[in-house]
Amino acid sequence: MATSCDFNFGMILEGDPSALADAYQRFAQVPVDLDWSRQSPAERLVAPRTIAKPVSVSAPGTFSKNAIRTLRLEPTERPGWWLERTDIPDSRPIKVSIRNVWTTGEIVSNIVLRSGSIHNYVRLVEHIIALKQGMDVDNLVIKLDSGDPPLFNEGSKELVEAINSAGRRELPDQEQVRYFTVKQRVSLLTPHNGFLVIDPVEEGRFALDIDCVRDFPNAIGQQRIKFVHNERSFHYGATARTNSTARQKLMVTTLGKLFPESRNLGYNRKNVLIAGKRRYVNEPTHLENGKSLEAAWHRAILDLLAALALIDEGRFVGRIIDYKGGHYPDVEMVKLLYANQLLVEV
């Protein structure tokens, strides 16, 4: 393992080199809790796929916990993933794309996509769009009855199961699935003195490899997982819930009601992992040798892959090291990749 003195951060897109070096030194000291990096990577797709039939899934809303929200997933030959607000007449479909990111949240961190009118938005889309990068569906229309998506009890498990129950239909007459990587190693310092490093895909290895570390001064503590993206790792990680501190949980359900971004947030002990200072308030999952890695799995699968899904021209392959990352630096990284013309088709 390289030390802070000899690790090459490549092209630094944001952040001070000395701060990055300090962050890498802390990262290098975190032991690996689970290593699935030697497994076979996900299947390389050729013909684009959509689902074979429509399917719907419902759950209580994320920001309006007393209302049931429904997602209707429909097949389409239109390239890419699209969100459509059925409650807004003649609203413009919102393509899942870095070009349509409105905000990553100020009070509650989440990715918000918008197109056209300021009313035509969908909040907290990351747990939905991560499936664009994580599963074998390239074209999809997702119809929503509000801008407030459902919040499931086990991450995105119900959504994954809904897509699998719909089956697949190949679109052989369309352009082949495109894959992208970075031209060179790039890095970025995160707001909490962590970093993101992205490497080009290794020659002859058509895969997405992730090394993810969570580091919190509470019950979550330090967690590190290494894995290659494939069906097993995606399905396992997609069941991991978002995490919140006990204080954050209290704030969003009390004072948080005063703010539109967090009003009536539907967090409860089933759909969110709540971390106290020394122990979890509720039961954690994704145990490895008695230690919960739920926070790391959620971060790696339902946060990181959501950012990669914003590369709307195709799928991403390469290697990512993520230390203390979050939605804002994820989206900022993708923006900078486009701004500096650092994406190249494989």
- What CATH topology corresponds to 11-44+176-239+286-345? lpxc deacetylase, domain 1 (3.30.1700)
Q: What is the pTM of this model?
A: 0.94
Reported as a single tens digit per residue, the pLDDT across 233-274 is 999 999 999 988 766 666 655 555 555 555 546 678 899 999
| For the chain, domain boundaries | 11-44+176-239+286-345, 49-170
Q: What whole-number distance in Å separates Cα of residue 203 and Cα of residue 169?
A: 30
Average pLDDT of the chain is 92
pLDDT for 65: 61
- What CATH topology corresponds to 49-170? Ribosomal Protein S5; domain 2 (3.30.230)
pLDDT along the chain (346 residues), means of 10: 71 97 97 98 96 96 81 97 95 96 80 94 95 98 94 95 98 96 98 96 93 96 98 98 76 57 66 92 96 98 98 97 96 98 97
